[in-house]
Structure 1
Amino acid sequence: MKTLFLMVILTAFSFLLSAKDYTLESPSGKVQIKVAIADQISYSVLLDDRVIIAPSQISMEISDGTIWGKDAKVRKAKTTSVSQEITPVVQRKYAKIQDEYKQLTLNFKDYSLQFRAYDEGAAYRWVSAKDGEYKVNSELASFVFPNDCGLWFPEEESMYSHQEREYLREKLSDIGTERFASTGLLADCGNGVKTYISESNLMDYPGMFLRGCDKNDKALVGKFAGVVLETEQTSDRDVKPTKYANYIAECMGPREFPWRAIVISENDAQLVQSELIYKLAPECKIENTNWIKPGKVAWDWWNANNIYGVDFVAGVNTQTYKYYIDFASEYGLEYIILDEGWYVLSDIMQLEKDMDVKALIDYGKEKNVEVILWVVWKALDDKLEEALDQFQAWGAAGIKIDFMQRDDQWMVNFYEKIAAECAKRELLVDYHGAYKPSGLDRAYPNVISYEGVKGLENAKWSNLPDPEHNVTLPFTRMVAGAMDFTPGAMINRNKTNFNDVFTQPMSPGTRCHQLAMYPVFESPLQMLADNPSNYYREPECMEFLSAVPSVWDDTKVLAAKVSDYIAVARRSGDTWYVGAMTDWDARELELNMDFLGEGAYTIKVWKDGLNADKHASDFAQETLEVTSSSTVKVKMAPGGGWAAIIKKK
């Protein structure tokens, strides 16, 4: 009888340990995470006691049959507070980032769960304590909403994707179980509150997509590519998975898994200002970073090397690229790119007959212009060390690596391998044909930018990106990190007379819409996409483009509404640069200058011309005097923009 009584007591005690709720508050108490431990682990997220994420189950199934999160028994719970200042090696929004959060760690038998509460959002991740080899069969990452919210849904047709998507406006209940999107994904929770779902510390693990559920479930659920077992190479750049394993990751020993990140904003400006993805990323793994230099780039591919007014035949040849170097040098641009065509596509070590890369790099150094080399990932991987050693010996500044189109575990590891091997040789990396930033750029700050965005190159063959898409990106894709949109078109058209022309491309929207992208869109390696011959004809615009930096000491969002408009002020040193953009609706904004210090300032403005609604390249300039108490009126044409430089008098 005593034995039976003891068993009942032990069982009840065990249940009390396992069936328990934990609450974690952000430093100000604004954001709360509630974790329920019962037969399944679930979490919920609240903002000022308002449910943002309703109870959502999470789990991870391991190859030995164990399901982490099922019938879990907490062995130890610990809460810690962190307040620190991060100094990014390569700035984006800020010279210093304030990193403050509270963390709850729940330890179980072979694993633990970590939750972090920030005033700007929430995150969780799994941490394994297992030794030896094991596989992750599946992961349940669910995000249940309390109502049928609206979504900005970057829908995918396949997980073999560049992740360059249009953000479709959808209701959660209309998604269904078969449709899925890449991350990050933005949800409208009502009353001005929005939730952005993505991930950080994506290392040695597949990237997360989000699929819908039954319309009654009001949920999004993680979707992951299996480990790739077989591929088929169909061209120099397309290596498609043809067979996946029934598990998603192969693991060895104790390790951390990616953070599932939730940015919460009470107004749209907070989305643009968030650095949550960067804060959750692993710390820098490179000892010497002094050589890493952000800057602007004269880019050849968008304008098809279609220069004119010269005494040589334009094309992929040494003379043409010297012209690009001369242009970059004249306007203080730090880099040019040799894009597709400089090497024989079947062999990265064989130059095309009209190219002398070493001579171009040497010529660039004489002009204080560095050279970045475009490569297809598979051609590089086939001769990785030989090619990178050659690039280093030539004196190249970095690589633009393209067409990966995957984020399964093997490819995620390939990204890190490239970052590490390039860092050894002091080479920058710009990922194209790529998934979104998810922490690698903090661990390896030579990872200077990412594509993973439907950028300006698409205007060569479609009517996107249009102004509405452009004013959606700062609140969606750009929240994840650097965004190589490649702005700078000097041929501009309105909605009715835009046409896609591959070799002489133009942009939908006005000239000042393009100029404003430089303060609005974040990329430490920022392109000037158009033809240098066109830029030479636009000295007033080049006055702005030659001055505007690519990294920032401070950022202020002056006006913001997702998919409608945005205005951003960014400081570099003592100078402020401002960009404002609108969708296809003409718009007037009043921008408060209260971010300025004491005293008088001069503001030089590039604004839509009186006829920009008919002739989108029309622009005008004006110079004003302002103080911190001033309000500046901004008037933008349909698809328009506004840009300014503010200096102390």
Structure 2
Amino acid sequence: MKKQIVILLTALLITSLSYSEALKLQSPGKNLEIEVEVTDYVSWSLFMDGEKVMGPSTISLTLEREGVLGRDTRVRRVTRQSENQIINTPVYRKSEVINHYNQMTVELRDGLGIVFRVYDDGAAYRLTTSFRRDIVILDEEVNMVFPTHEKAWVPYIVPREFDPYSTSFESTYDLLTLDEVVADSLIIMPLLVEAGKNRKIVITEVDLEDYPGMFLTVNNERTGYSARFAPYPLAEERGGHNNLQSIVTKRAEYIAKSEGRRNFPWRAVAVSNKDVELLDNDLVARLASPNRIGDLSWIKPGKVAWDWWNYLNIYNVDFRAGVNTETYKYYIDFAAEYGIEYVILDEGWSEQESLLQIKPYIDLEGIIKHAKDRGVGIILWAGWLPLNQEMDEVMRVYSAMGVAGYKIDFMDRDDQPVVNFYYKVAEMAAKYQQLVNFHGSYKPTGLQFTYPNVITFEGVYGLENVKWTDYLDMPEYDVTIPFIRALAGPMDYTPGAMINSNRWNWRAMHATPMSQGTRCHQLAMYIVYESPLSMMADNPTHYKREHESTRFIASIPTVFDQTVALDGVLGEYVAIARRNGKNWYVGAMTNWDEREITIDFSFLGEGEYDAVIFRDGINADRNGQDYVREVKRVDKGTTMTVNMSTGGGWAASIKRR
């Protein structure tokens, strides 16, 4: 990613043994300010428009040999820096990101450095150390204290019974005050806090490398949240889903072993005065380490026909449907007919013990040739433990065979070795020019910018859950995650259901699943949700029956040049416009409440456009599959009233005349 950089750098040497006044750092627009105090401990506070919204929050790092850094220390030096740059982001929801910030590095006499960075829409800090020998990290103190905490959208961890730090990272949100948060519970990030006056603060982390991921828990004083990290695994055994996972049976007293000279992950907060501002926040893109793989021209985003969600339950064919060669050739023919770039072979194509042992009823070479002849790529599902055991050979063999990439599943951990596994996969897949889709994964933390072949992540309570859940508020969740989970990065929600139901008729079904909400709610997801590799989850037989909807889905790009957040209220509704080339795409979704909103088309350029619109039909509240397709002429002066049914949506493809 080429960068155009303008840098102003100044340094200030602090020589006194103590520093009684706070060190201050303002954002470029001066609306945000960080204050750092170094007394008996180090703390920082964040101000919005002159009012404290976070802090004082203490910071320290506890090492096995060196002790607690950030306690009873003094400032050695403060360095300030300002930077304004453009980062090229070709596999993203926009082609360029403006990276304009002010930065302050505080170096302490005990060897700890803290880099503070502030933007107009967020702030972050990271620790640094410069020891010559390796270090053992016992703990990192991260606190997020809120003077005003009205409520938070809390995604509790759902732990596996064999290890409290093992989870799929798929959770719905509980809307809670601090007093209502369960003590000692683990919370998945991103976490959103409403900090008074409708101000929203989203907590996440960026540049997570060679280090465990961070969970949050309510602090003892109930003034905010503190960090918890999965301890380093000392003993593991094979188990879990289909024996594909490595189950931790013993953990250490420390969280990481590391080189002594390093940068630690960014502790980041995105801020907004209006909910809609969170829909297009680029904090993660700005903080992530830059592209390490160079040329990206071989990376091909797109749609993928997926077999697992629909249980390979095709019909009106003359062969037995299932995990077999004939079925996959049918999926490939469907993909080729509609211009869908990929087909995934989910679990079952290989033996459980080894990805190099192909099931006898799968002619993988024949499937790949059939796909190649039709311009379709093949992606293989992989359990993480078998892949980890044979990674180099698996990628070498299947790259030579023509496999485009992997969907890697069931890591269900974010301790240091598993985080390192992500980087190992990303680097090796890039070597073989293959894509990676992480499922059973923690939230994105910027790896998708460092290795852009890592094209999407799960880490979301997606459509797959309707196959078994008793949760009845998917439409509300669907219009919550664009403000919270999506801020961290792409999410493989796996939309595209063609059987659509209202709240009263919906049932969890495994073989013929249905969505909660309307058809147009599903169509809008392909615009509202960012995922450069976007699944089409339903049955090809259903898609062929629903030709209009399928053509529309297939026509929507998965990466964009520009994003405009049009409107939205957290948990209520969302409306987003995205541009790819000269064409625009607009998606809107609502919760279970019927809703009327106004779309302002002022984002369009000059001239007239034809908008192909899918809107909820008059009976969509009774039958979620009811929709209307219409074509209207629009220009930048157009405003349009959009009516969405209960659990409804609205989607448009807009092309210049």
- Give the TM bin, normalised by the shorter chain: over 0.9
Query: What's the CA shift for 1:372?
Result: 0.4
Whether the aligned pair in 1 keeps the contact of 2:90 and 2:559 (CA below 8 Å) is no
Question: Which of 341, 346, 349 is the equivalent residue of 2:348?
Answer: 341
Q: Distance in 1 between matches of 2:353 and 2:158?
A: 29
- Paired residue for 1:286? 293
- Paired residue for 2:612? 604
CA displacement 1:191-230 (0-9 Å, x = unmatched) = 221000000000000000000023x441100110111111
Query: What's the CA shift for 1:147?
Result: 2.1
Taking the TM superposition and a 5 Å limit, the aligned residue runs for 1:195-594 are: 195-214=201-220, 216-235=221-240, 236-464=243-471, 466-594=474-602
Query: What's the CA shift for 1:552?
Result: 0.7
Query: What's the CA shift for 1:239?
Result: 2.1
Query: Which amino acid in 2 is paired with 1:185?
Result: L
Whether the aligned pair in 2 keeps the contact of 1:18 and 1:71 (CA below 8 Å) is no
Q: Distance in 1 between matches of 2:466 and 2:365?
A: 33
Select between 263-272 and 103-112 the one with higher mean Cα deviation: 103-112
Q: Distance in 1 between matches of 2:536 and 2:547?
A: 14
- Paired residue for 2:3? none
Select between 117-126 and 310-319 the one with higher mean Cα deviation: 310-319
TM-score normalised by L of structure 1: 0.96
Query: Which amino acid in 2 is paired with 1:106?
Result: V
Q: Distance in 1 between matches of 2:28 and 2:557?
A: 34
Question: Which of 624, 629, 637 is the equivalent residue of 1:621?
Answer: 629
Whether the aligned pair in 2 keeps the contact of 1:20 and 1:38 (CA below 8 Å) is no
Question: Which of 158, 169, 172 is the equivalent residue of 1:166?
Answer: 172
- Paired residue for 2:200? 194
Whether the aligned pair in 2 keeps the contact of 1:551 and 1:572 (CA below 8 Å) is yes
Q: Distance in 1 between matches of 2:32 and 2:360?
A: 61
Q: Distance in 1 between matches of 2:368 and 2:69?
A: 53
Q: Distance in 2 between matches of 1:647 and 1:441?
A: 30
Query: What's the CA shift for 1:106?
Result: 1.0
Query: What's the CA shift for 1:476?
Result: 1.1
Whether the aligned pair in 2 keeps the contact of 1:151 and 1:188 (CA below 8 Å) is yes
The 3-state SS of whatever aligns with 1:359 is helix
Query: Which amino acid in 2 is paired with 1:519?
Result: I
Q: Tell me the percent identity.
A: 43
1:23 aligns with 2:31: no
Query: What's the CA shift for 1:352?
Result: 1.1
The 3-state SS of whatever aligns with 1:132 is coil
Select between 201-210 and 226-235 the one with higher mean Cα deviation: 226-235
The 3-state SS of whatever aligns with 2:623 is coil
Whether the aligned pair in 1 keeps the contact of 2:355 and 2:386 (CA below 8 Å) is yes
Q: Distance in 1 between matches of 2:628 and 2:524?
A: 14
Query: What's the CA shift for 1:598?
Result: 1.8
Query: What's the CA shift for 1:18?
Result: 4.0
- When residues 463 and 568 of structure 1 are mapped into structure 2, their CA distance, relative to the original with a 3 A threshold, is farther
Query: Which amino acid in 2 is paired with 1:231?
Result: E
TM-score normalised by L of structure 2: 0.95
Whether the aligned pair in 1 keeps the contact of 2:158 and 2:169 (CA below 8 Å) is no
CA displacement 1:557-577 (0-9 Å, x = unmatched) = 111101100011111111111
CA displacement 1:274-321 (0-9 Å, x = unmatched) = 010121111111123221111110111100111111111111111111
Q: Distance in 2 between matches of 1:14 and 1:245?
A: 39
The 3-state SS of whatever aligns with 2:498 is coil
Whether the aligned pair in 2 keeps the contact of 1:173 and 1:218 (CA below 8 Å) is no
Taking the TM superposition and a 5 Å limit, the aligned residue runs for 1:38-77 are: 38-77=39-78
Whether the aligned pair in 2 keeps the contact of 1:272 and 1:475 (CA below 8 Å) is yes
Query: What's the CA shift for 1:346?
Result: 2.1
Q: Distance in 2 between matches of 1:157 and 1:287?
A: 38
Query: What's the CA shift for 1:148?
Result: 3.2
Query: What's the CA shift for 1:253?
Result: 2.9
Whether the aligned pair in 1 keeps the contact of 2:565 and 2:576 (CA below 8 Å) is yes
Q: Distance in 1 between matches of 2:589 and 2:43?
A: 41
Query: Which amino acid in 1 is paired with 2:535?
Result: M
Unaligned runs of 5+ in 2: 1-13, 160-164
The 3-state SS of whatever aligns with 1:475 is coil
Whether the aligned pair in 2 keeps the contact of 1:111 and 1:130 (CA below 8 Å) is no
CA displacement 1:238-259 (0-9 Å, x = unmatched) = 3221211111110113100000
Q: Distance in 1 between matches of 2:558 and 2:44?
A: 39
Select between 588-597 and 104-113 the one with higher mean Cα deviation: 104-113
Query: What's the CA shift for 1:176?
Result: 4.6
Q: Distance in 2 between matches of 1:579 and 1:625?
A: 17
Query: What's the CA shift for 1:14?
Result: 7.2
Select between 372-381 and 384-393 the one with higher mean Cα deviation: 384-393
Q: Distance in 2 between matches of 1:351 and 1:181?
A: 39
The 3-state SS of whatever aligns with 1:473 is coil
Q: CA RMSD in A?
A: 1.3
Whether the aligned pair in 2 keeps the contact of 1:463 and 1:498 (CA below 8 Å) is no
Whether the aligned pair in 1 keeps the contact of 2:245 and 2:383 (CA below 8 Å) is no
Q: Distance in 2 between matches of 1:225 and 1:51?
A: 31
Query: Which amino acid in 2 is paired with 1:50?
Result: E
Query: What's the CA shift for 1:75?
Result: 1.3
Query: Which amino acid in 1 is paired with 2:37?
Result: A
Query: What's the CA shift for 1:146?
Result: 0.5
- Paired residue for 1:5? none
Query: What's the CA shift for 1:354?
Result: 1.2
CA displacement 1:467-525 (0-9 Å, x = unmatched) = 00111110111110000000000001100010111011110100000000000000000
- Paired residue for 2:645? 637
Q: Distance in 1 between matches of 2:632 and 2:334?
A: 30
Select between 343-352 and 55-64 the one with higher mean Cα deviation: 343-352
Whether the aligned pair in 1 keeps the contact of 2:70 and 2:108 (CA below 8 Å) is no
Q: Distance in 2 between matches of 1:332 and 1:289?
A: 22
Query: What's the CA shift for 1:463?
Result: 4.0
Select between 520-529 and 265-274 the one with higher mean Cα deviation: 265-274
Unaligned runs of 5+ in 1: 1-12
CA displacement 1:163-206 (0-9 Å, x = unmatched) = 00001111112225312201100011122210000000000000
Number of residues of Structure 1 aligned to a counterpart in Structure 2:
635
The 3-state SS of whatever aligns with 1:383 is helix
Q: Distance in 1 between matches of 2:75 and 2:190?
A: 31
CA displacement 1:335-366 (0-9 Å, x = unmatched) = 11000110011222111121011111111111
- Paired residue for 2:113? 112
Select between 15-24 and 106-115 the one with higher mean Cα deviation: 15-24
Structure 1 stretches of 4+ with a deviation exceeding 4 A read 13-16
Whether the aligned pair in 1 keeps the contact of 2:245 and 2:384 (CA below 8 Å) is no
The 3-state SS of whatever aligns with 1:165 is coil
Q: Distance in 2 between matches of 1:463 and 1:646?
A: 37
Q: Distance in 2 between matches of 1:17 and 1:283?
A: 36
Whether the aligned pair in 2 keeps the contact of 1:308 and 1:533 (CA below 8 Å) is yes
- When residues 20 and 247 of structure 1 are mapped into structure 2, their CA distance, relative to the original with a 3 A threshold, is farther
Q: Distance in 2 between matches of 1:134 and 1:346?
A: 36
